[in-house]
Amino acid sequence: MPGELAKKMTSVCQVVDDGWPEAWYMVPDEDVDDQKRENRFTPNEPVNVKEMKALGLNYWAMDAVNYKYPIKAVPWDPKEATDPRVAALRDNLGYSYADVMTIHPDLLPGYETKIKAFFKEHIHDAEEIRYIIAGSGFFDVRDPLDRWIRIHVKKGDLMTLPEGIYHRYTCDEMEYIHRMRMSIGVPCWNPINRYGTEEDTDGHESRKKYVCKYCVPFLKEQDRFEAAAGEEEKAATDEENEKDVVDDEPAKKQQHIEG
C-alpha cells in the first residue's frame, strides 16, 4: 500500500496490530470431525499478526455498531455507504461493487449444502474482501508449508485475502454470520477449487503470483533461520568440546608428574 494511502487508511480505518482476529494452526483435516469447532492443537499453536501479514493478509477494524446494513442485498451499491470507514475503503481502494448476505440456517436457503461448499479449499483470481457486520466465523488459509491456519473473524472485522492464497470458510458453532464482500469492478466470485476438478490450481497464474510474492520469501527466511540455528548449535558443541579439553589438562599434567 503506498505511503499516503496507508496514512489515510490508518486515520480513518484504524489499522492496528492489536485488534487483529485470533489465529492458530489447526489440526489436519483427517482429525476434523466438525468444521465449525475451533480444531486447535493441544497445546494451542498461536499465529501472530506478523505471521499473518507475511501471508499477505490485511485487517481493518470497522464500526459495526453504529452503521447498519440490509440482511441481504445482492448487489449492494458501495455508493450508499454512510459509514466513513466503508466509504474510505470504497474511495481509496476503488471498491465499486459489493453484496451483503446473512449465513444462518433460517436465512440462507440450502444452508448445509452451501456451508459445505464454502469449506472447499480454493483460490480466486482476485483479492477476497470480507467485512463481518455481525456474527462470526472462521477463515482457514494455508501457510507456505501447506499447514492450515484458522482465523476467527467476528463482528467489526474486515479482512482481505490476497489473490492466489489457498483458503476456505466456515461458520463457527454460532451458525450466524452477516457479511459484506466487496470488489473492484464487477466480480467473478466463483471459487477455483484445489481438489475435485481437473483444474491445475498449482499451475494457475494467480497461484504462481502468490507463490513468488509470499511463499518464496517465507521459505528463504525459514532456510536462513534453520541455517543460523545449525550454526549456533555447532558453535555450542565446539565450545563444549574445547571446555572438555581444558578440563582434562590438569589431570593429564598430574599423570605426567606421577609417571
Q: What residues make contact with Fe ion under the rule CB under 5 A?
A: 128
- Between residues 88 and 133, which has the closer beta carbon with respect to Fe ion? 133
Which position's Cβ is nearest Fe ion?
Answer: 128
Query: Among positive and negative, which fits the CA dihedral 101, 103, 109, 112?
Result: positive
| Dist CA 35 CA 226 (whole Å) | 33
Min CB(225)–Fe ion separation in Å: 31
Among residues 39 and 170, whose Cβ is nearest to Fe ion? 170
- Nearer residue to Fe ion within complex by CB, 128 or 157: 128
Contacts 24+ apart (CB under 8 A), 189-197: 189/124, 191/120, 191/122, 191/123, 191/124, 192/122, 192/123, 192/124, 192/125, 193/120, 193/121, 193/122, 194/120, 194/121, 194/122, 194/123, 194/166, 195/120, 195/121, 196/120
Toward Fe ion, which CB reaches closer, 128 or 143?
128
Closest CA to 118 of 65, 156, 170: 170
**Amino acid symbol at 104:** H
CA distance 209 to 211: 6
Judged by beta carbon, residue 124 or residue 178, the one nearer Fe ion is 124
Identify which of residues 89 and 161 has a Cβ nearer to Fe ion in the complex.
161
- Please report how close the Cβ of residue 122 comes to Fe ion at its closest, in angstroms: 6
Query: What is d(CA 46, CA 74) in angstroms, rounded to the nearest whole number?
Result: 36
Distance CA 115, CA 101 (A): 13
For cell 466480480, the residue is 187
